[in-house]
Chain A
Amino acid sequence: MNCKDIEALIPAYALDALSPEDEQAVERHLDECSWCSGQARILRDAASTLSLAVDQEPPHPRVLTGVKKRIAADEAAAETSTERPPGRFRRRPLSVIGAFVYAGALMALLLLGGVLAFTLRTSGQMDNLHEANAGLTQQVTDLQQHNSALSDELNSLMHHNSEMGERVTMLHQESSEVNADVDELVSGNEALYEQVDALADSGKEMMNVLRTQQSIVYMLTLPGTHVLKLESDSGAAQGNLMMNLDQRWCVFVATGLHTPPHNHQYNVWLRRDRHEYLVAVLAIDEMGWGQVLIVPEMPMAEYHWVGVSVEPAEDASLQGRRGDLVLWGEISLADPLYPGIPRAGSR
């Protein structure tokens, strides 16, 4: 297990809530990793603080007495195990000769002891030096052990540092991936915005068309509205000119028209006294349908002919009608209040 796995287990370890296997794994890791040990220490201490949440009452004095007794019993048992076997120095009564022999031996031992004491006294300093030396050797050994422990701790920290570095790198990578995702979402969002804008525009157009259609229907239902059906060569193209009662304006609707050539358009003309006036440009959709509102300078009764021709898009008004006529018709509105059926015919 690495530090990340152990870190996840440490909270439960601090509460003693791990399985024995996990607990052993954590303890093995803590022996090697000072950083995780530090985490465990903090959480262990927090857990031990929890124990203060219960009613605090000191134990009966017999508990301490019991501890002392058990320690004494342990020590007695330890001492018994190191004692010599009983009966080795069993006493026997001494005879007179024996007493003299013992006394002589004792004297000799005392003499020898005096000589030895003198020798030992002179060599005492050597012993002290040896002892001091041993002490220093022990200190050096301790320092070496301490050094080794510090070295282990350093290695552990370096190991942990390396793991943290990897995690940081991984997080950086994840972060850049997330950024890329965000960029993608932003661009997707922008595309959606464009679509929404386009739909809104389309919606506006649709609304305009609907309003126009509504106006046309409204006009057709008005009494006194005059409708002139226009003629064409092919018959496929059809056009109607709907004039309102006061003749101030009219609506021209056409269908079945072909898409005009590049840079060309459909112009609507009104003729009066042999002069033709460009009064509108007719835009058509992909189905060949189009409508346009015409507001002429003079009342419609002043005009006697209407036509639609294909013209270059530029400067058509300056040049007058030159292109082919696709729809045309004569206007006859002698009495606008009681309009007769108009005649269609001459170009």
Chain B
Amino acid sequence: MTGQYESLGDENLLTLIAHGDKEALECFYERFSTQVFSLARYMLKDEAIAEEIAQDVFLAVWQKAGTFKANRGSPKGWLMSIAHHRVIDHVRSAKRARASMDRMAQEMASMEMLYQVRTEDEAFRSIERQEIAKALQTIPEAQRTVILMSYFQGYSQSEIAEILEQPLGTVKTRIRLGMQKLRSIFKNEAALSP
């Protein structure tokens, strides 16, 4: 890949991709494939399927780059939205024993790992992760739970209400308040982005 692409912004890369520039796609892939693949692998707990999803996502970028609207979000936000959608579709289509409390407990324990900063862990040495983990720690537990359940486990707000045996309005409020806090914390999102 030539260095000229690396100096381009994400939006410019998408414009070139929309005009059929494969090197631009490759550059875009280099920038974001780790984030896409890691999210898919975490949510699906299956490396092979995560690779398939990552392929689907970047093929979709190739095919739909022309539909990107800057007023809807940043290129990264758009890409991660596609990736998240794909993963959730896969999660929801799979048969899941949602009623199993053991499974729930396991998943919750898994999520707890997300926001516990473990500096001895090599993976946690990235500045972004530490910042995000700290940000999640500042959110009240009830709000953090519904955000993690919806984003990382693909539950809709109605499903969360059912699982947690809480009124739907309560879940909506928790999501709203939690996201407002995340928004204010991630205000300087550029500092966290790779």
Contacts and interface: CB of A to CB of B under 8 A. Distances in A.
Contacts of B182: 46-47, 49-50
A63 interface: yes
Given A14-B179, A19-B158, A46-B182, A64 B129 contact: no
Given A15-B175, A59-B37, A50 B151 contact: yes
Interface in A4-34: 8, 11-12, 14-19, 30, 34
A43 B179 contact: yes
Contacts, number: 171
A314 interface: no
Most buried by A among B26, B58, B88, B192: B58
Interface string B132-175: 11001000000000010011101111101000000000001001
B160 to A, nearest CB: 7
A41 B81 contact: no
Contacts of B72: 30, 37, 40-41, 44
A148 to B, nearest CB: 15
A70 interface: yes
B34 A57 contact: yes
Interface residues of A, number: 43
B165 to A, nearest CB: 17
B193 A49 contact: yes
A51 B39 contact: yes
B107 interface: no
B12 interface: no
Contacts of A49: 132, 182, 186, 189, 192-193
A47 B154 CA distance: 13
B16 interface: no
Interface residues of B, number: 67
A37 B189 contact: no
Contacts of B37: 57-59, 63
B73 interface: yes
B148 to A, nearest CB: 8
B15 interface: no
A30 B84 CA distance: 19
B106 interface: no
Contact of A17 (B71, B150, B194): B150
Given A41-B73, A46-B183, A48-B81, 19 more contacts: A11-B176, A11-B180, A16-B150, A19-B156, A19-B158, A38-B71, A43-B179, A43-B183, A44-B72, A46-B182, A47-B80, A49-B186, A49-B193, A51-B151, A54-B42, A60-B51, A63-B37, A67-B59, A71-B25
5 contacts: A37-B72, A46-B182, A48-B77, A52-B35, A53-B133
